[in-house]
A and B are shown apart, each in its own frame.
Chain A
Amino acid sequence: MSDTLVPQLVDGLAALMLLTSFALLAQHRLLSVLNWFAAQGFLLATTAAVVAYGTNNHELYISALMALLLKGLLLPWLLWRVIRQLHVHREVEPLMNRTMTMLIALALTLFSFHIIQPIEKISHLMTRDSMAIAMACVLLGMLMMITRRKAITQVIGFLAVENSLFFAAIGSTNGMPLVVEIGIAFDVLIAALIFGLFFFQIRDTFDSLEVDAMHAHLIHKDDDE
């Protein structure tokens, strides 16, 4: 049973991963963005555990645990605290019309599918199909970073990109070696802490978490933009 069930489960989780990436893009409210982000963290942990079970790779259980603690609990909690402390306005105003964003997102998904197609043909790994979805999620996370005005949503976009990369590593290669995995997790953690520091610096300096307010300070210096 498990030799057909595990790939099916991973496929299902991949589809859910894609759904969460779209949901992150579509949300209005900062708190629901955060909820979806946390959900993505849990999804990652589940995927890692399922793949670990399917391949009997015990290192992956550690990855699953790390994903659960770091991406499912710690980071959302930190961000939630930041949102609370900074009293960030609840609505997220995107730079672009949401329908337009969605259309671009669909196009990006098609594009990554197209790019990954030659790879899938040669691969014989158990979970090969998730590569296309992982790449789509990476691009969607970047789209989120580009189309959002608030520093905090940009960060969630950044972390979503990291999540997708983790998913790519788990889903298509059954996980990177543990040393690398831990190194990456460590970097993400430091990055998140620095982001946290930055929120307060930005707010104190600009009285707002809008990125536009920030770049205004650079643009007057920059005659080539």
Chain B
Amino acid sequence: MNLFVATLLSPLLGGLLLALVNNPRLAARINVGTGITTFTFSLLLVIQVLDVKSVDAMSGWFHLDAYNVFLLALTTFVGMTTSIFSAPYMRHELASGHVDLPRLRLYHSMFQLFQFGMLLGFSTNNIGVLWVSLELATLATVLLVSLYRTPASIAAAWKYFILCGMGIALALFGTVLVFFTSSAVLGHGNEALNWTALYANAARLDPAVMSIAFCFLMVGYGTKVGLVPMHAWLPDAHGEGPTPVSAVLSGLLLNLALYALVRCKMLVDGSTGTDMAGHIMMGFGLLSLFVAAFSLHKQRDIKRMFSFSSIEHMGLMTFAFGIGSSLASFAALLHMTVHSLVKSGIFFTVGHAAQAMGTQKMAEIRGLIRHHPGIGWGLLMGTVAIAGFPPFGVFTSEFLLFAAALEVYPWTAVPLLLGLLIAMAGLFRFVQPMVYGEVASQAVPVHVNMLPVYVHFAMALVLGLAIPDFLADWYTQAAALIVAGGGGG
């Protein structure tokens, strides 16, 4: 399992190293290097795990199965492309005086630390450690959100910190409750917090305690997922932080929280034997979809608008996982992948667009295609993709989700469709004037690297046209795991 250790260690060591490097050019290179190394390791790891279905590492402390190894690979991939994107982006920020050298060092170091927290959370076999690593990833990003030290960014970071702190505290209480009942069954030790052991004994856990625990876990991790009504931190944190941070928050951190939530749901289902947890998740999902879709229409700031779109999509995924059929889980996993790819791609583009126009206000961003065709077409393409138009993967996953919803809860199709349409209208209403038309007067030329963006979109396109066999296999395996309540582990 050396590959696994290497995957985990590389961001940690990279982060420590970056804490010492002052030279911005060198730091950016190390950052990219670390990202590439981590991704390579995780890719090799994936190949290894897919051969043997599931692997326990380091005497049972870590457990990899189809479900989390896929998210692990996604995380390292987006982490890598974000580090590639961030090199020219942060150079521009440094040149324009938004950040100084010590803060840039902090940024690089925290970025890798965040990555480490994410990987730890996905791979650990222990609910307690999952909680710790989610908190670690949150703390790392708090400092990143306030990186610019503007009043609004500090206020946003504070809000993020306090709200997520509250949420995560509730999740810990839920975890304590789980341990409370599981230690009666599995004995007083680490065993009682292990996913594998818990799943194997899910039926013996007390259903009453598990139901209460799930309510706490739902609200707790739901806060981190950004579900309405606990979403207030999300638009601020996304809007005020540096763009690479918005990209990883939206594309990765939300995934980890949702992953934790789904793991808990699997456990609770195994214990209670009812659909209670699924129904709660469906409720939160639908509510988030609607509130976010309407809120989209009222935004002025481009990053805030796309962060509401993230809430909308997280709502969709929560809803899909809530349905709980294997088709729905398949759709949700696919949606998680394409959303991560497309949304981080969009944030990259938005970051460059905001730099080119010198503002994040949508009313002042005009004529992107004429000013810089790469950015303009990128933004348009991303919006088309995220809104769920046919050739892209989002369409496929949403279509599958519809099919799943129609199969199990037919009446939900109407609100789903309505919510999606409202959101789509909101997106295009703002994006169209931004990409077409005359160039705004304050526009400046920027040096951009659109490669990561196009790679992301291309992958989303491939996933939409034809899911490769090995990927489809992989999703099916993971979906089967989720439906079976992790019984395979």
Binding site for B on A (CB under 8 A): 57, 115-116, 118-119, 122-125, 131, 134-135, 138, 141-142, 145, 151, 154, 158, 161-162, 165, 168-169, 172-174, 176-177, 179-180, 183-184, 186-187, 190-191, 194-195, 197-198, 201-202, 205-206, 211, 214-215, 217-218, 221-224
User: Across the interface, which residues of A come within 8 angstroms of B212, CB to CB?
Assistant: 115-116, 118-119
Nearest chain A CB to B359 CB, angstrom units: 12
B162 on interface, CB distance cutoff 8 Å:
yes
Q: Please determine whether A201 and B184 come into contact, CB atoms closer than 8 angstroms.
A: no
- Can you identify 24 A-B contacts, CB atoms within 8 angstroms? A57-B188, A118-B212, A123-B184, A131-B180, A134-B173, A141-B169, A161-B169, A162-B169, A173-B176, A173-B183, A173-B188, A176-B179, A177-B189, A179-B129, A180-B132, A194-B139, A194-B142, A205-B154, A217-B152, A217-B155, A221-B239, A221-B301, A223-B300, A224-B295
Find out whether the CB atom of B183 lies under 8 angstroms from the CB atom of A183: no
Interface residues of B (CB under 8 A from A): 126, 128-129, 131-132, 135-136, 139, 142-143, 146, 149-152, 154-159, 161-162, 165-166, 169-170, 172-173, 176-177, 179-180, 183-184, 188-190, 192-193, 206, 208-209, 212, 235-236, 239, 295, 298-301, 304
CB distance from B229 to the nearest CB of A (A): 12
A119 & B208 in contact (Cβ 8 Å cutoff)? yes
A198 with B157: CB separation less than 8 A = yes
Taking the closest CB of chain B, its distance from the CB of A160, in whole angstroms, is 10
Interchain CB contact under 8 A, A214 and B128: no
Pick the contact of B128: A119, A122, A180 (CB < 8 A): A180
Choose among B132, B154, B176, B206 the residue that contacts A214 (Cβ–Cβ < 8 A): B154
Distance between Cα atoms of A112 and B249 in the complex (Å)? 33
Q: Which of A138, A187, A206 makes the CB contact (< 8 A) with B132?
A: A187
Within the complex, what minimum Cβ distance (angstroms) separates A177 from chain B?
5
Nearest-CB residue, chain B, relative to A167: B176
**Nearest opposing residue in chain B for A219, CB measure:** B155
Residues of B within 8 A of A124 (CB): 184
* B300: chain A residues within 8 A (beta carbon): 221, 223
* A151: min CB distance to chain B, Å: 7
Q: Distance in Å from the Cβ of A9 to the closest Cβ of chain B?
A: 20
**Given A123-B184, A179-B128, A224-B299: A187 in contact with B135 (beta carbons within 8 A):** yes
Is the pair A173, B179 in contact by a Cβ cutoff of 8 Å? yes
Is A221 within 8 A of B193, CB to CB? no
Q: Which residues of A contact B159 (CB under 8 A)?
A: 215, 218
A151 touches B158 (CB 8 A): yes
Cβ B180 vs Cβ A123 within 8 A: yes
Given known contacts A168-B173, A194-B143, A201-B149, is B208 in contact with A221 (CB within 8 Å)? Answer: no
Contacts of A195 in B (CB 8 A): 161
Residues of A within 8 A of B180 (CB): 119, 123, 125, 131, 172-173
CB pair B166–A168 under 8 Å, yes or no, is no
Other A-B pairs beyond A125-B184, A179-B190, 20, CB < 8 Å: A119-B206, A122-B206, A123-B180, A134-B173, A161-B169, A162-B169, A165-B173, A174-B183, A180-B193, A187-B139, A190-B136, A191-B165, A194-B142, A194-B143, A195-B161, A198-B158, A201-B146, A202-B158, A214-B158, A224-B299
